[in-house]
Amino acid sequence: MTPLVQINHINKIYGKRKAVIQAIKDISLPIYEGETLGLVGESGSGKSTLGKLLIGLEPPTSGDISYRNNLLWKKKRFMRPSPGEIQTVFQDPQSSLDPRMRVKQIILEPLNALPDQERKVKGSLERLHTLVKRVGLKIEHLERYPHEFSGGQRQRIAIARALVTEPSFIVLDEPTSALDVSVQAQVLNLLKELKQENQLTYLFISHNMSVIRYMCDRMAVMYKGEIVEIGETKSILNNPKHDYTKMLLSSMLKVN
């Protein structure tokens, strides 16, 4: 399998002098085209930071990341592959959707990064309507504002916004953690179907082992900024090797 993303010896340090936090310590891993790679670990282990390095929100302190064999970061500058090729869906649709914008503007907004001609094609009304219906919303929803929707519907809006540019790679950072359990399952199924239909690759960040089990082909376990275990989800869940993974599994199984 070809790696879509290759992470090589990445370190990420926040802060200066005495207030230094090393959020990521020498992480190297591939993310293969077409897979869903799960990233688990307790709060503060560095999961979101790794996601941010991949979508261009934070530069690594050292190391490199390549996307389709091209460097994503050069001297702290993000080398966006082609515009819209990498997208993201965050945990909290309440704060990630601009309350002053109508749903239509929100979904079309990522197209602003695209060249004129491509923007016209991808932003056509016909395409927008197909996309909105595909994520389980209605055409009349396009004229409304985020506060008029439930959490699950808001996450569907965020998913439509991520898909509008026709990306190849999506970083999903706890995309269903803020939702009720029944709604979680619907959104997870939608994400699974969309991945198949659009040949997507996902990095799926989650606290929840059942969600990881359901969604991910492989999983990586993060502990204090390091990857302590990585492999096929099934084999890690059935036979965890690292003590931290064992501990995480037993504590999570108690919660789930």
Please identify which residue in 36, 48, 87, 176 interacts with ligand ATP, judged by CB under 6 A. 48
In the three-class reduction of DSSP (H, G, I as helix; E, B as strand; rest coil), residue 253 is classed as helix
Q: Does 15 bind ligand ATP (CB under 6 A)?
A: yes
- Closer to ligand ATP by CB, 25 or 104: give it: 25
Please identify which residue in 45, 87, 88, 245 interacts with ligand ATP, judged by CB under 6 A. 45
What the block records as the tokens of 3 is 């790696």
Report whether 162 contacts 88 (CB < 8 A). yes
Please identify which residue in 2, 14, 197, 246 interacts with ligand ATP, judged by CB under 6 A. 14
Report whether 173 contacts 89 (CB < 8 A). yes
Q: Which amino acid is at 93?
A: P
**Which of the stretches 1-9, 15-23, 132-140, 185-193 binds ligand ATP when contact is defined by CB under 6 A?**
15-23
What the block records as the tokens of 91 is 């945990």
Query: Pattern 16-35, binding to ligand ATP, x per CB under 6 A?
Result: -----x-x------------
**149-160: burial string, b at 16+ Cβ within 10 Å, e else:** bebbbbbbbbbb
Q: Does 38 bind ligand ATP (CB under 6 A)?
A: no
Separation of alpha carbons 256 and 253, rounded Å: 5
Q: Does 43 bind ligand ATP (CB under 6 A)?
A: yes
Size of the site for ligand ATP (CB under 6 A): 12
Q: Does 49 bind ligand ATP (CB under 6 A)?
A: yes
Site for ligand ATP in 95-134 (CB under 6 A): none
Please identify which residue in 2, 9, 28, 44 interacts with ligand ATP, judged by CB under 6 A. 44
| DSSP designation for 35 | -
Q: Does 89 bind ligand ATP (CB under 6 A)?
A: no
- Closer to ligand ATP by CB, 49 or 208: give it: 49
Minimal distance, residue 113 CB to ligand ATP, in Å: 24
β-sheet with 218-223: strand ranges across: 86-89, 169-173, 201-205, 36-40, 218-223, 226-232
**49-65: burial string, b at 16+ Cβ within 10 Å, e else:** bbbbbbbbebbbeebeb
Residues forming the site for ligand ATP (CB under 6 A): 14-15, 21, 23, 41, 43-49
